[in-house]
Amino acid sequence: MVFIAPALIGLVAFYIVPTFRGLYLSFTDYSILGDPEWVGMKNYQAIAKDPMFWNSLWVTVEYVVINIVLQTSIALGLALLMHNVAKSILVRGALLLPYLMANVIAALLWFWMLDYQIGIVNQVIEWLGLPRVAFFGSQIWAIPTQALINTWRNMGYTALLIFAGLQAIPGSLYEAASLDGSSPGQTFRKITLPLLRPVLALVLVMTVTGSFQVFDTVAVTTQGGPINATRVLQYLIFQRAFNEQDFGYGSAIAVILFLILMVVAVIQMKFLRGNESDLD
Amino acid sequence: MKNPFTSKKTVGAVAIAVFAAASLSACGGASAGGNSASGDVSYWLWDANQLPAYQQCADDFHKANPDITVKITQTGWDDYWGKLTNGMAAGTAPDVFTDHLSKFPDFVKTKQLVPLDDAVKAANINLNQYNAGLADLWVGQDGKRYGLPKDWDTISLFYNKKMAAAAGLSPAQMASLTWNPQDGGTYEKAIAHLTVDKNGKRGDEPGFDKNNVAVYGLGLPGSDGENAGQTQWSFLSATTGWTTTDKNPWGTHFNYDDKRLQDTIAWWASLAQKGYMPKLETTVGASAPDAFGAGKAAINSNGDWMIGQYKTYKGVDLGIAPTPVGPNGKSMSMFNGLADSIWAGTKKKDASIKWVEYLASTKCQDVVASKAVVFPAIKTSSDKAAAAFKAKGIDVTPFTQHVKDDTTFLLPITDNAAKVAGIMKPAMDAVVAGKAPASSLTAANGQVNALFAK
């Protein structure tokens, strides 16, 4: 009992209590200074009619789709390379390097490199004779740019998780497949992917949940702009609660995000049958 | 498998942990304020340029009052207000802090500030020593005074004298620009003529390539929607007779649906379409003053607190011109002032009052004036600051003239300022980026006014 106390206190103090307090605050009008005042469903009704919220939901989904599709496919490719080709620890370690960088540092580094005026990337684009791109300033580019930065930072880590899954697939299956004359493509589709499914399900639940919570890259670069192009849900929550001192409203959006994530995670686990393995 | 949360022992442990967490959070609450007249007084400000001046004031103050030590913390504007509000909620806010007109109404509403009326009476502070109107700005809707004025600011045009001379614009011409929302007057003519494309063609010459501009006539730091256009367009819209709110201070109805404002913004946004001003999307993450310093813009409109920074750009011969004369025949400027306020949760109330009184006295404001960074609130100190700027070779008349001629108007002081900014910034960004017509501000105005209908 005693040995779990440190973890338990952390869980209760930093997860369970704040979760229930957040749930309670979502039904109140609370400006942080002063006492919360119970208003029932008012915040939720206001959110349903708030175009900013629907815009944020759409922007966040756009970010998640770009980020997850790119990140998962690149990570899968990297994991296969790590498993079959790049056996050197140096190369495998190098893939993880971006992940060792703090999110905010990675974001600021790219913010600088992709700057319209002084960024090295735009300098290269100009040498190639192409027009400069406002990576963070243009409404079209802002979200893909943020998604690419996070893909770059996280793909090594995701690849490492998938790589661990690949190592768990018994080599005998591959031997049998090659004896049966299976092509590399067939082996990948019929053996690797199905047996990797539980790991992929876990990776997807983790990365999708993580991407829905994108905040730091936005907060240190575009802060929701241009116009509302990068006002993702977490940034809207922060803005409503901390900038505009409307903690009740912010908490209500946070509860909605919590519910969305729960539903998405359950659907993923169910459809990908993430809690059972085909190896048994 | 047995669910760990059904075991009796676990429930007990959870209960203990919940209790521990609850008592932890209870410790964070603000305790009752004491009245100690000695010890350490914490003081916050956001402008790093002013830190040396106020450190000097704090040192002098300590010499005169050896039992009080002022500890100054400087935090950048972007983090300042969040830190301050969270500090108030957690009971760790500073005793005294630099306060802003757009922020103090919310603090008054939530009872976070100490009223200073008794202190003013007891110390017999002459409120007429400050520039006209400054002291009254800090009286809340409840009739109580929540701050003593420390400085004021106005807006002017910073311009590159060499570029103006090359374009054949004399300092006298730059000082007498005119503007109207239809064709932009000589202000737009000067901006167009100062714009130069990569081939050396000026903005008003045939063959000007608006997609390859080397020098923009006018720099653009942003749409300024969150600040009521303080440094970018308020000095223009005000000359049309437009006001941001129905009354100021304490307006409850905004006028962004007015045609005069929308015409002004439409004209301003058109400069970017014509290639005379950078497109908004190219300015994300960039600094407009630095672009000016690098010779990429000829004119920047900005406030007097930026004089020091503009003056540091090497190779730029800095000129300062008054804002253009508009349809009402006047050159106008928004007028803003800062003050020092005392947090209601302070445990050093009497010492804090002493420090605020010192900050609001000629003793400290003359020190600030001598550093030539801002204009102190006290009239005589303001004049000393102007002289200090002059000694550094900077003629600040365009800024001070507004106060002498009474051509200023106040920054809008209202409730819900942060929420208004949250609505107006994206709305104004959309118009300046050319993604929405100026008439779209009418819808944003409706959202803003709905905040006050509750």
Flag whether pLDDT at B3 surpasses 50: no
In a domain, A34, yes or no: no
Least confident of A233-237, B43-47, B130-134, B300-304: B130-134
- B207 and B145, same structural domain? no
Using alpha carbons, list the distances in angstroms from residue B210 to A125, A249, B300, B301, B332: 20, 45, 19, 22, 30
The CATH number assigned to the domain holding A151 equals 1.10.3720.10
**By CA distance, what is A140's nearest residue in B?**
B281
- B343 and B329, same structural domain? no
- B147 and B191, same structural domain? no
In a domain, B268, yes or no: yes
CB contact under 8 A, A17 and B21: yes
The per-residue pLDDT for B33 is 43
- B285 and B138, same structural domain? no
The per-residue pLDDT for B324 is 97
**CA-only gyration radius of chain B, Å:** 25
In a domain, B168, yes or no: yes
Flag whether pLDDT at B9 surpasses 70: no
Per the prediction, chain B carries an average pLDDT of: 89
- B60 and B129, same structural domain? yes
In a domain, A182, yes or no: yes
The CATH number assigned to the domain holding B50 equals 3.40.190.10
- B139 and B110, same structural domain? yes
Q: Over pLDDT 90: what percentage of chain B?
A: 78
In a domain, B20, yes or no: no
The helix (run of H) or strand (run of E) holding residue A48 is: helix A42-48
- B341 and B224, same structural domain? no
In a domain, A207, yes or no: yes
The per-residue pLDDT for A6 is 87
Residue B296: domain span: 155-335+411-453
The whole-number average pLDDT for the span B354-359 is: 96
Flag whether pLDDT at A45 surpasses 90: yes
Strands B68-74 and B39-45: parallel
In a domain, A15, yes or no: no
The per-residue pLDDT for B27 is 37
- B329 and B211, same structural domain? yes
The per-residue pLDDT for B36 is 67
- B74 and B103, same structural domain? yes
ipTM above 0.95, yes or no: no
In a domain, B28, yes or no: no
Q: Which of A29, A31, A33, A223 to mutate to test the interface with B (most CBs of B within 10 A)?
A: A33
* pLDDT-derived band at B454, boundaries 50, 70, 90: low
Cis peptide before B66 (omega within 30 of 0): no
What token pair was written down for B252?
A: 């409850």
Number of domains present in the structure of chain A? 1
The per-residue pLDDT for B20 is 42
- B343 and B253, same structural domain? no
- The answer to whether residues A225 and B426 touch, using CB atoms and an 8 Å cutoff, is yes
- B65 and B109, same structural domain? yes
Q: Does A22 touch chain B (CB under 8 A)?
A: no
The whole-number average pLDDT for the span B18-33 is: 39
Least confident of B24-28, B223-227, B412-416: B24-28
Q: Does A36 touch chain B (CB under 8 A)?
A: no
Nearest to A8 among B13, B430, B435 (CB): B13
Least confident of A146-150, A163-167, A200-204, B37-41: B37-41
* CA A255 to chain CA centroid, nearest Å: 18
Per the prediction, chain A carries an average pLDDT of: 91
The per-residue pLDDT for B15 is 42
Nearest to B286 among A5, A8, A116 (CB): A116
Helix, strand, or coil (residue B33): coil
**Which one is predicted more confidently, A127 or B30?**
A127
The per-residue pLDDT for B179 is 97
Name the minimum distance, in Å, from the CA of A152 to any CA of chain B.
21
The per-residue pLDDT for B13 is 43
Q: pLDDT for B146-171, tens place per residue?
A: 999 999 999 999 999 999 999 999 99
The per-residue pLDDT for B22 is 39
In a domain, B11, yes or no: no
Q: pLDDT for A2-19, tens place per residue?
A: 788 888 999 999 999 999
Residues of chain B contacting residue A132, judged by C-beta atoms under 8 Å apart = 282
In a domain, A107, yes or no: yes
* pLDDT-derived band at B24, boundaries 50, 70, 90: very low
Number of domains present in the structure of chain B? 2
* pLDDT-derived band at A34, boundaries 50, 70, 90: confident
* CA A274 to chain CA centroid, nearest Å: 19
Residue A187: domain span: 52-271
The per-residue pLDDT for B396 is 94
Flag whether pLDDT at B186 surpasses 80: yes
Distance CA A246, CA A255 (A): 14
The whole-number average pLDDT for the span A215-235 is: 93
Q: pLDDT for B246-288, tens place per residue?
A: 998 899 999 999 999 999 999 999 999 999 999 999 998 888 9
Nearest to A225 among B106, B284, B291 (CB): B284
- B99 and B49, same structural domain? yes
DSSP string, A85-145: T---HHHHHHHHGGGGS-HHHHHHHHHHHT-TTT-HHHHHHHHTTPPP--TTTSTTTHHHH
Domain-terminating residue out of B358, B375, B399:
B399
Flag whether pLDDT at B12 surpasses 50: no
